[in-house]
Amino acid sequence: MKKRKYIFLTGGVVSSLGKGIACSSLGFLLKSRGYKVTILKLDPYINVDPGTMSPYQHGEVYVTDDGAETDLDLGHYERFLDISMTRDNNTTAGQIYYEVIQKERRGDYLGATVQVIPHITDAINEKILSVGKKTNVDIVIVEIGGTVGDIESQPFLEAIRQFRLKLPADDTLVVHLTLVPYIAGANELKTKPTQHSVMRLREIGLQPDMLLCRTDRPLPDNVKQKIGLFCNVSANEVIDALDVSLIYEVPLQYAKVKFDELILNKLRLEKRKLNIEEWRNKVERYQKVDRTITIAVCGKYVELHDAYKSIMAAFEHAGMENDVRVKLKWINTEEITEKNVAQELSDVSGILVPGGFGERGIEGKLFAIRYARENKIPFFGICLGLQCAVIEYTRNVLGKKDANSTEFDPNTTNPVIHLMETQKSVKRMGGTMRLGSYPCKLRTGTKAHKAYGKLEIAERHRHRYEFNNSYRLELEEAGMIISGLSPDGDLVEMIELEDHPWFVGCQFHPELKSRVARAHPLFRDFVAASLEYGK
Ligand code: GLN
């Protein structure tokens, strides 16, 4: 049997230190040394998955090929490691408790009192073992959500303590990510928050093997020694995680301070050759790019960029391939009117309407789409964005002024977007949308075909409503091209316009499959068309 290694990454002091990027960057470096790696995210909240949470609470819901609604950190993992995750790569406390309670109801515990220790902790450890086994990797990185000291994350930390007991010492590692702030008044880097955070970790019986310290300047040796002394590690196990301007620099910075080498040493893994030149070249080239274009993102959660994490990443990847920096202009469509739309969009080279739910802000989206269509500004509509483009066309080109989606007006006489047949019997909320990867056939000679360079694609979905086929013929006669269909020809997956430089809508979420190594073809071509328009 393969000897598998486990790296646990915990976070301390404050949230938002970038545990997801840290795991992704480390994973990328280990993969670049020829190791097979996967990452598991453990989320301490009680929701079974983030699918039912508001974007204000949780940011984006990241959908995997197998249709799981997961934490947005899985997006970072996929983008950095260039591998596809599954529902096994994300577990929440809610999922663990749910499974344990179901087992209890079946009588599987044979009369035992069901407790956090050992039943919940065993179930957590089962998940960690199982993702490694299923993916047959050399190394499993486990990211523990939340901050050490939270009541919620205690069972997870306890589970890890037990997990480590069962394996030889050099098969597991705990890396603790902390913050070492610089206090200007004292002209000093402060180590106390790190000391306290490690204290909390040690209280539960977890001694970190390494500290990864977020800092805005390199840690001098005396600071590393002090942290080491108080936290019971050696100074060389205190690693600088320097602030960088671009997240893609993080792996390069880790490689520079030999973080990955130290990890391999401690796990007693062979130091294979590191192969990151392609990544380095890409990042360095992008850093030198000096032209910029502005693209409008017309959505609802615009003050909350976490809701559009993958879209932002996809634009970065597309920018890298087009040698341009894409500046996003966030437009709250609740504030867009027929009067101000031209002014609000006068300085942009492209207009994107992303996915979303609910009626709020829809009319503003329709004004933005009309503006893009009539002024021949490149337009990209994703999921709700496609649905709105179809509504706009039906209203303003076919002249059916009350056309709508039944999501927003159940009584419209022109339900050009309506509930999918398979959704009509759905009563429960969690995990019941049309989710995950489905195949799609493209029409020859369309912009979609040109972008993908092939006719058969598969993309990820998360929706309940769809294009109403009763309007297909009329819309096609009026110049709308149905450029992508489900293989049985029943579901409209992509649309575009004949008489427009680049007006494309898709029912799926292409942003979920964009990678640093490979920009998504639709984002790449949308950015290229926007560049062309900008000229
Ligand atoms: N609200 C729409 C639907 O459920 C669009 C969903 C989305 O944009 N992800 O079909």
Residue 61 in tokens = 């819901």
Phi and psi, residue 357, nearest 5°:
-135, 145
Beta pairing partners, 485: 441, 492
Tell which atom from ligand 1 comes closest to the C-alpha of 465: 10
Helical (H) or strand (E) element with 313:
helix 309-322
Ligand 1 contact via 390 beta carbon (within 6 Å)? no
* Mean pLDDT, rounded, for 156-183: 96
Tell which atom from ligand 1 comes closest to the C-alpha of 382: 8
Residue 244 in tokens = 């960088």
Q: For residue 464, how far is its CA from the centre of ligand 1 (angstroms)?
A: 6
Ligand 1 contact via 315 beta carbon (within 6 Å)? no
Ligand 1 contact via 357 beta carbon (within 6 Å)? yes
Residue nearest atom 6 in ligand 1 by C-alpha distance: 463
Is 315 within 8 Å of 330 (Cβ atoms)? no
The whole-number pLDDT of residue 457 equals: 98
Q: What confidence category does residue 480 fall into, taking pLDDT thresholds of 50, 70 and 90?
A: very high
Q: In sequence order, what DSSP letters do the residues of 7-40 get, joined into one string?
A: EEEEE-SSS-S-HHHHHHHHHHHHHHTT--EEEE
What CATH number matches the domain at 5-282, 3.30.450.40, 3.30.70.20, 3.40.50.300, 3.30.10.20?
Answer: 3.40.50.300
* Mean pLDDT, rounded, for 355-365: 94
Query: In 219-308, which residue ranges form alpha helices assigned H by DSSP?
Result: 221-231, 250-256, 259-266, 277-288
CATH code of the region 289-534? 3.40.50.880
The distance from CA 424 to its chain's CA centroid, rounded to whole angstroms, is: 29
The distance from CA 38 to its chain's CA centroid, rounded to whole angstroms, is: 16
Ligand 1 contact via 463 beta carbon (within 6 Å)? yes
Tell which atom from ligand 1 comes closest to the C-alpha of 357: 1
- Measure Cα distances from 369 to 125, 293, 507 in Å: 49, 19, 16
Phi and psi, residue 321, nearest 5°:
-80, -20
What DSSP state is assigned to residue 87?
Answer: G
Distance of alpha carbon 91 from alpha carbon 99, whole angstroms: 11
What DSSP state is assigned to residue 60?
Answer: P
Phi and psi, residue 437, nearest 5°:
-85, 130
The predicted model scores a pTM of: 0.95
- Cα end-to-end span (Å), the chain: 59
If one compares 14 and 492, the residue with the highest pLDDT of the two is 492
pLDDT tens figures, 314-338: 999 999 999 999 999 999 999 999 9
Among 119, 418, 461, 509, which one carries the catalytic annotation? 509
By DSSP bridging, strand 492-497 and strand 480-485 are: antiparallel
Q: What residue type is 424 in one-letter code?
A: K
Q: For residue 463, how far is its CA from the centre of ligand 1 (angstroms)?
A: 4
Q: Domain limits of the chain?
A: 5-282, 289-534
Ligand 1 contact via 465 beta carbon (within 6 Å)? yes
Tell which atom from ligand 1 comes closest to the C-alpha of 433: 4
The whole-number pLDDT of residue 534 equals: 83
Residue nearest atom 8 in ligand 1 by C-alpha distance: 355
* Mean pLDDT, rounded, for 447-457: 98
Ligand 1 contact via 356 beta carbon (within 6 Å)? yes
Helical (H) or strand (E) element with 57:
helix 55-58
Q: At a CB cut-off of 8 Å and minimum separation 6, what does 530 contact?
A: 293, 295, 349, 350, 378, 502
Q: Is 388 a catalytic residue?
A: no
Q: For residue 308, how far is its CA from the centre of ligand 1 (angstroms)?
A: 14
Helix (H, G, I), strand (E, B) or coil at 241: strand
The whole-number pLDDT of residue 302 equals: 75
Is 65 within 8 Å of 296 (Cβ atoms)? no
Helices 121-135, 93-106: inter-axial angle, 10-degree rounding: 110
Distance of alpha carbon 51 from alpha carbon 71, whole angstroms: 9
Tell which atom from ligand 1 comes closest to the C-alpha of 356: 8
Question: Phi/psi class of residue 82: alpha, beta or left (left: φ > 0; alpha: ψ in -120 to 50)?
Answer: left
Distance of alpha carbon 529 from alpha carbon 216, whole angstroms: 38
Q: Is 511 a catalytic residue?
A: yes
Find, among 248, 233, 132, the residue nearest to 178 by Cα. 233
Ligand 1 contact via 299 beta carbon (within 6 Å)? no
Q: Quick check: 148 pLDDT over 90?
A: yes
> Best substitution site from 311, 422, 462, 509 to test ligand 1's pocket, by max atoms within 8 Å of Cβ?
462
Among 60, 143, 249, 511, which one carries the catalytic annotation? 511
Residue nearest atom 1 in ligand 1 by C-alpha distance: 357
Ligand 1 contact via 384 beta carbon (within 6 Å)? yes
Residue nearest atom 5 in ligand 1 by C-alpha distance: 384
> Best substitution site from 311, 384, 390 to test ligand 1's pocket, by max atoms within 8 Å of Cβ?
384
* Mean pLDDT, rounded, for 105-134: 96
Residue 133 in tokens = 């086994």
The whole-number pLDDT of residue 151 equals: 92
Q: For residue 19, how far is its CA from the centre of ligand 1 (angstroms)?
A: 30
Confirm whether 5-282 and 289-534 share one CATH topology: yes
Tell which atom from ligand 1 comes closest to the C-alpha of 461: 9
Q: For residue 502, how far is its CA from the centre of ligand 1 (angstroms)?
A: 22
* Mean pLDDT, rounded, for 242-268: 95
Ligand 1 contact via 355 beta carbon (within 6 Å)? yes
**Range of lowest pLDDT (49-53, 121-125, 215-219, 512-516):** 49-53
Beta pairing partners, 332: 299
Q: Is 509 a catalytic residue?
A: yes
Find, among 438, 385, 359, the residue nearest to 368 by Cα. 385
Is 10 within 8 Å of 176 (Cβ atoms)? yes
Q: Quick check: 58 pLDDT over 90?
A: no
Is 43 within 8 Å of 91 (Cβ atoms)? yes
Tell which atom from ligand 1 comes closest to the C-alpha of 509: 9
Is 255 within 8 Å of 274 (Cβ atoms)? yes
Residue nearest atom 3 in ligand 1 by C-alpha distance: 463
Find, among 364, 337, 254, the residue nearest to 21 by Cα. 254
Among 383, 388, 440, 506, which one carries the catalytic annotation? 383
Mean pLDDT (the chain, rounded)? 95
The whole-number pLDDT of residue 264 equals: 97
Residue nearest atom 7 in ligand 1 by C-alpha distance: 355
Q: What confidence category does residue 193 fall into, taking pLDDT thresholds of 50, 70 and 90?
A: very high
What DSSP state is assigned to residue 51?
Answer: G
Beta pairing partners, 466: 418
> Best substitution site from 297, 387, 388, 405 to test ligand 1's pocket, by max atoms within 8 Å of Cβ?
387
Q: What residue type is 34 in one-letter code?
A: G
Range 244-248 contact pairs with CB under 8 angstroms and sequence separation of 24 or more: 246/283, 246/286, 246/287, 247/18, 247/21, 248/279, 248/282, 248/283, 248/286, 248/316, 248/516
Other residues' Cβ atoms within 10 Å of the Cβ of residue 391: 24
* Mean pLDDT, rounded, for 184-193: 94
Question: Phi/psi class of residue 13: alpha, beta or left (left: φ > 0; alpha: ψ in -120 to 50)?
Answer: left
Q: What confidence category does residue 1 fall into, taking pLDDT thresholds of 50, 70 and 90?
A: low
Query: In 107-218, which residue ranges form alpha helices assigned H by DSSP?
Result: 121-135, 154-166, 192-203
* Mean pLDDT, rounded, for 360-388: 97
